[in-house]
Amino acid sequence: MRRSRTWLVGPAILLTAWGVACAAERLVLVEGGRPVCSIVHGQADDFAAERLARWLEERTGASVTVAAAGKESGGDGCLILIGSAASNTLLAKVAAEGGLDLDAGKLTEQGYVAKRLRHGGRDCLVLAGGGRDGALHAVVDLINWHLCHSGKDVWLGSLEARQVPRFKYRWLWTWDHRMDWGGPGKPGTVMGGGGTFAKRPEAFLIDYKRCVDYMADHKYNGLIIWGFVRDTHGGIEATQELCRYASRRGVRILPGVGTSGYAGYYFEGDHAFNAGTWLKKHPECRSVAKNGRPRNAPCPSKKATQDWLDDGAKWLFETFEVGGVNLEMGDFFVCYCDDCKKARSAIDSDEPDYYKDMAISHMVTLKTMHRLAPEAWLSYATYTGYTGEMMKTPPKFLSMIPEYAICQWTLTGLARKWPADVRPMAKHNIGYLHWCNTSTHTEDDFYLWRVRDICRQAAGAGCEGLDTYGEVSDERVNAEIFYLAWEAFLWDPEMTVERFVDERLGRLYGGAEAARALLEIIPLVRTRGDRAVPEKCGKARAIAAAARAKSDASGHVRWDRLIGELERHERAAREAIEARRREQAAAREGQLVPVLSVRASDEEAGAKNWTASKAIDGSVEEPGGYWLTRHVHPKAAWIELTLTEPTKVNRVAVFHQLNAGHYRSRDYAISVRVEGQWRQVASVRGNKRAGWVGHLFEGVVTDGVRLDITRSEHGNRMGVGEVEARTVGGGDR
């Protein structure tokens, strides 16, 4: 007869800080590649049981017996009980005898209890959830944070945990064409709606299944997918397969549905529920732009549009095993047809028109969806944060849209300066962050402290969940830490960063002592600007190398990956500095012409001091050395330099923002003043260059230089770092 191995272990096994749990009383599950345990699971908990058995086999080669409750054999060794009080009768019996409270109302569907017990003279490990999801969460936490593994042995130290997540909704937000989880092909980087799926068709399932696997292993429960169905990545069949795959793993697929913009239910393809296809047959339902021209997007107020969306909802929930939806109108969408103007005029509110159009559309569609799938998570995007003014006078859309819907507020801007006394006003609220993503140029950024802070702040504000980008694979060091931080702080916002590093990252980086080096490394290279300084990258790399030397072998792979990434950033920073130096020398060739005065169409004065004078002060420090307009979404801006005296000029050099995510000038023109009249000498459309850019032209005697900007990145401000008038050679080309 095989017996359960329960040993007392001394200090010799304390290889790492997280090993303290492993240093107590060892409960051996696999010894020398032989199983010393068996698994009994509840009716709906087969995947959770399979996940644990698969992990044990992958690590040791041991094939552990797995059986459903009521079908278990006698066996010996440790008995691992997985499920809930409702799904697993044996678990319920052992828990009751051991005094464990498994009340599903207290645990919720997602919470769990994990504890070692003795039952009938036998060691038992109870992994009990309030429901199916909680049981799986107990299993993956056991795997990730409690089991100890060496060679072909797996054992468990002391364990007594009761975990209930603070946030019910823990989602990742994605566009299909930007997914980068290992599927073949190059992902896209386009910000905003759309984008072409340029990867190979099979990449869709590869990318998303890997993402789902990671989510299931780290207690995320909702995956928003924009570009949900496309012909180019397998159409309906591929998406159905993904939905079944995710549902079995406790991850709800939440299709992105564009009720006006973003193509409806079927993002790309000749299909009845693709907006473009439908509008070809119903051109009278096209929305109208402000200039009066029809757009290839459905009008929200037309009864035919609302019927089409209702029919599409029925098709969606019948065709796919989805767990909800994420509705959007199309960023700040407004239809200017007569029907929409009339519908908006009936809404007694001063809120923006795009809020009104959103309510007109969503209030109908959401009611239909709720009737079809009462348990579905139905969310909709406002595209904005919330304000104190809204608390005083709540926008009307909140009373028009059904209260069971989940209002998704954009918290990216709020996160920079959190309004502690302001709370969201819908009955159900979640927040959305534009972090760690290629489209926002943050794919290499670290967010550890910011994730902790936003989770605490959102909890204080009463939010029920948060979602952020999930397009970048956990193979990136910063992305893995990003996802792990969300996992930890969405469950426990009061956890400290230090505890997170010791208990979580210590498991991965070869011990808590080694992992604490990350608290020094991350601030050095947190942002793109930080990583543009070679010395910061070099210092971070040296700290990482020293930490690797302290870590045990289990952490070497991650330290090597981090060191490699830091080397890449350092090399890129030095190359960029050298390239900028060469470009600057070329762009600023010639003699600088003195400037008497400068004025601009607008400037941000006051504390920020982004005045016109900053464009001629010789400083290109970002952003302190910049001229910028106020945050007023200008349609155009200009700045004029008056020269000390008329001078022959044949080059104007402009310094554009290095950070492409801010207000870099995209479309602009340069003019010189000749005999009181402005003469254009250069024009640029779609500028993508940063830093110094020189514009050479035929020499002309002038007493003034003018820069006109007609489009900037993001558009809410305009400006440049510096403008210089120069004379090259004798003033001729």
248 occurs within a structural domain: yes
One domain, residues 472 and 605: no
* Distances in whole angstroms, Cα of residue 634 to Cα of each of 70, 468, 707: 70, 29, 15
Distances (CA, A) of 390 to 62, 234, 397, 579: 59, 44, 11, 48
Within a domain: 456: no
The token pair that represents 211 in the structure block = 């993402």
Tokens 């796919």, residue? 320
**Angstrom distance (rounded) from CA 669 to CA 707:** 6
Q: Which of 104, 136, 163 is the last residue of a domain?
A: 163
Residues 62 and 101 both lie in one domain: yes
Q: In what helix (H) or strand (E) does residue 371 lie, and over which residues does it extend?
A: helix 353-372
Return the amino acid letter for 281: K
Q: Return the pLDDT at 344.
A: 96
Q: Is residue 574 part of a domain?
A: yes
pLDDT score of 172: 98
Phi then psi for residue 172, to 5 deg, are -115, 145
Q: What is the pLDDT of residues 559-568, one digit of tens each?
A: 999 999 999 9
Identify whether the C-beta of residue 34 lies closer than 8 Å to the C-beta of residue 62: yes
Q: Identify whether the C-beta of residue 728 lies closer than 8 Å to the C-beta of residue 593.
A: no
Same domain flag for 206 and 121 = no
Domain-located, residue 35: yes
Same domain, 395 and 358: yes
Please check whether residue 217 is in contact with residue 487, taking contact to mean a CB–CB distance below 8 angstroms.
no
Write the CA distances from 33 to 23, 37, 472, 498, integer angstroms: 21, 12, 35, 35
443 and 524 co-located in one domain = no
**pTM of the entire predicted model:** 0.86
* Residues 251, 324 share a domain: yes
| Residues in a beta bridge with 693 | 654
Name the domain boundary from 567, 587, 607: 587
Assess whether 713 and 691 both reside in one domain: yes
Is 62 within the bounds of a domain? yes
Question: Which pairs count as long-range contacts for 682-688, CB under 8 Å and 24+ apart, including other chains?
Answer: 682/652, 687/656, 688/660
**For residue 732, is it within any domain?**
no
Asked if residue 457 is part of any domain, the answer here is: no
Residues 599 and 576 in one domain: no
**One domain for residues 440 and 503:** no
φ, ψ for residue 710, nearest 5 deg? -115, -10
Q: How many domains does the chain have?
A: 4
| 582/637 same-domain check | no
Contact between 711 and 730 (Cβ < 8 Å): no
Boundary residue ending a domain (535, 558, 587): 587
> The CATH number of the domain where 710 resides is what?
2.60.120.260
Residue type at 361? S
Is 185 inside a domain boundary?
yes
- The CATH number that applies at residue 443 is 3.20.20.80
Which residues are 652's β-sheet partners? Answer: 695, 725
- Supply the pLDDT for residue 512: 98
For every residue of 198-256, DSSP letters joined together read: -S-TTHHHHHHHHHHHHHHHTT--EEEEET-SBGGGTHHHHHHHHHHHHHHTT-EEEEE
40 SS3 class: strand
Residue indicated by tokens 């103007």: 341
Do 517 and 638 sit in the same domain of this protein? Answer: no
10-residue stretch averages of pLDDT, the chain, 733 residues long: 32 33 77 97 97 98 95 83 97 96 96 95 96 98 97 96 98 97 91 84 98 98 98 97 98 97 95 97 96 95 97 98 96 94 96 96 96 98 94 95 98 90 96 95 96 97 98 98 98 98 98 98 96 97 98 97 98 92 90 97 94 95 92 96 97 90 92 97 94 95 98 92 92 59
Residue 270 is part of which domain span? 169-447+462-495
Instruction: Judge if 575 and 623 occupy the same domain.
Output: no
In sequence order, the 6+-apart residues with CB closer than 8 A to the CB of 499 are none
